[in-house]
Every structure is written in structure tokens, then in C-alpha cells.
């Protein structure tokens, strides 16, 4: 099967999986992302030779999902300070990826690191920017991210993986695409979807690493010129979007962007997503 078809198939599977997990109970989520990784840890350590970054990423992501599940489904989610921890964890997740690029050096890695730092600075931290939406069949944690930010994040993360882990680029293209589809439909739900798709993929790669890489090894995709071009594009897009967002906030303090960063418009005001 051609690589592009494998990526499309994996995207569909991950999209369906995150929708299923969205409707799952807290016990299923804690079991899948808490107990399963703990039980598999001896096997993972014996069969994988991951870099420090991949080990840290794997365990921090599943820990974040377990914490997010507690925020969604228990009484602690009613506290503003507890809900603030979710965008803070998102910022920490991005900074985890910034660190390897800073260590690696070179202008392309430097641009990707700078792009990640700008994305962190644009994460909405205002009280009105985060909430738990309780629906008939599920509960969602919602964060007021914009579609522009999501696209910038996706391009930045794709550039990071292409420069640092080209063999995983096919897998991560599907992971990013599944979450982005959700985000383009409803950007407030992107973070919840992103965590689930990334967590599922990390568990799969850690458990059947050789088969996963063998099935979709995209090492041949890597080309330094392509990596440089993607890094430059990601930086240009995010810097341009950050400048546009700042101008929008100055021109319209009642916009969704202004509210997300702490502004509180009147209840009857009209807001719009950037």
C-alpha cells in the first residue's frame, strides 16, 4: 500500500478513535492511558531504545490525559485554577519540543524553536477561555484556540518531527491531521482530540515499535532543503499570524482573541473566531 494511503487510513482510524474516547467513561480513559502504560513499562524498557525526549514525551502525554480526564469528570474541574492547568500543560508540552531544537543548533532548528515559543505566548490563559461543556453523551474540555493558531501549531510540529524524527513523520502526519480535522470543525475541542490521538499513537509505537516503523517508515522523505523550507514557512506563518492577531485585538477589544487573553466583553456582545 502506498505511504499516502497508509497515512490516510491511519488518520481515519485515529479520528474515529478520538470520537469513541470522547464518549468513553473516566474509568476507560484512566485504564487506557494510566494502567496500560504502567503495566507495559517493563516491556517498553526491554524492547525500545528511545531517546530521552521520546520517553519523556510518552509518559508526560499519558499523564496529561489522565489529569485532563480528572478535570473533565470530577469536581476539581469546577475550579478556575485547576482548569488553568490544562493550557499551562499545553505550553509545557510545546516547550518540551522546543528544548531539543535549541540543543541541536542550526538555523532551521532555531527557527522551529522560535516558532514554538511564539505559539506558547499565544495560548489563551484568560478565565473565560476555558470551560467544561457537559452534553448528553459526553463532557468536553474546551479551550478558546483559533483555527489560525491550530494551523500554525500543526505546521510547526510537522517541521519539528521532520527535522528530528523523519522515520516517524508519516505516523505523526496522521496524528496531526486527525486532530486538525476536529479543530477546523470546532477549534475549542482540538486540544482534547490532540491529546488522545497523540497518546494512542505513542502507546502503539512504544508497544510494537518495529512493526509500526516498518509499516510506515518515512525516513526517505527527509531532505534537508525540505526541512529548511518547512521551518521557514512555519516561522513566517506563525509570526504573521501573531502580528495579525495583535492588530485585531487592538482594533476590536471585544473579539474572541481579546476575551481569550483576559478581556471580558459584555454578555450581549458579538464575538467571532479568528
Distances in Å between the alpha carbon of 52 and those of 93, 114, 170? 14, 22, 21
Distance, in Å, from the CA atom of 10 to the CA atom of 102, rounded to the nearest integer, reads 31
Residue 252: band (very low, low, confident or very high) from pLDDT cuts 50, 70, 90: confident
Distances in Å between the alpha carbon of 21 and those of 18, 62, 140? 5, 14, 11
DSSP 8-state code for residue 134: E
| CA 83 to the chain's CA centroid | 17
Distance, in Å, from the CA atom of 192 to the CA atom of 74, rounded to the nearest integer, reads 16
Higher pLDDT, 56 or 270: 56
For residues 28-39, give the mean pLDDT. 97
Q: Which residue has the cell 520517553?
A: 55
Higher pLDDT, 225 or 8: 8
pLDDT above 70 coverage of the chain, percent: 91
Contact present, 123 and 86 (Cβ < 8 Å)? no
* Domain chopping of the chain, boundaries: 3-260
Closest-CA residue to 18 (of 234, 167, 185): 185
Distance, in Å, from the CA atom of 140 to the CA atom of 220, rounded to the nearest integer, reads 39
Residue 254: band (very low, low, confident or very high) from pLDDT cuts 50, 70, 90: low
Distance, in Å, from the CA atom of 121 to the CA atom of 250, rounded to the nearest integer, reads 17
Residue 1: band (very low, low, confident or very high) from pLDDT cuts 50, 70, 90: low
Distance, in Å, from the CA atom of 265 to the CA atom of 52, rounded to the nearest integer, reads 44
Q: What angle do CA 89, 94, 96 make, to 5 degrees?
A: 95
Residue 19: band (very low, low, confident or very high) from pLDDT cuts 50, 70, 90: very high
- The confidence score (pLDDT) of residue 255 equals 61
Amino acid at each position: 500500500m502506498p505511504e499516502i494511503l497508509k497515512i490516510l487510513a491511519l488518520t481515519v482510524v485515529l479520528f474515529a478513535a478520538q470520537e469513541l474516547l470522547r464518549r468513553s467513561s473516566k474509568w476507560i480513559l484512566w485504564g487506557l492511558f494510566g494502567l496500560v502504560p504502567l503495566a507495559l513499562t517493563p516491556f517498553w524498557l526491554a524492547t525500545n531504545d528511545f531517546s530521552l525526549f521520546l520517553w519523556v514525551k510518552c509518559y508526560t502525554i499519558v499523564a496529561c490525559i489522565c489529569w485532563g480526564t480528572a478535570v473533565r469528570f470530577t469536581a476539581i474541574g469546577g475550579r478556575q485554577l485547576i482548569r488553568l492547568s490544562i493550557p499551562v500543560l499545553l505550553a509545557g508540552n510545546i516547550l518540551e519540543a522546543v528544548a531539543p531544537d535549541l540543543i541541536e543548533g542550526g538555523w532551521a532548528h532555531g527557527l522551529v524553536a522560535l516558532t514554538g515559543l511564539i505559539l506558547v505566548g499565544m495560548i489563551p490563559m484568560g478565565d473565560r477561555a476555558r470551560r467544561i461543556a457537559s452534553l448528553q453523551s459526553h463532557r468536553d474540555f474546551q479551550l478558546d484556540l483559533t483555527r489560525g493558531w491550530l494551523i500554525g501549531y500543526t505546521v510547526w510540529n510537522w517541521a519539528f518531527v521532520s527535522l528530528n524524527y523523519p522515520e516517524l513523520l508519516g505516523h505523526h502526519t496522521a496524528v496531526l491531521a486527525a486532530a486538525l480535522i476536529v479543530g477546523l470543525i470546532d477549534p475549542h475541542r482540538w486540544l482534547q482530540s490532540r491529546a488522545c490521538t497523540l497518546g494512542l499513537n505513542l502507546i502503539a509505537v512504544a508497544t510494537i515499535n518495529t512493526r509500526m516503523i516498518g509499516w510506515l517508515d518515512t525516513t526517505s522523505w527527509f531532505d534537508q532543503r525540505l526541512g529548511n523550507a518547512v521551518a521557514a514557512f512555519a516561522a513566517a506563518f506563525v509570526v504573521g499570524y501573531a502580528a495579525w492577531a495583535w492588530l485585531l485585538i487592538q482594533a476590536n477589544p471585544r473579539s474572541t482573541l481579546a476575551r481569550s487573553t483576559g478581556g471580558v466583553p459584555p454578555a450581549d456582545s458579538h464575538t467571532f473566531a479568528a
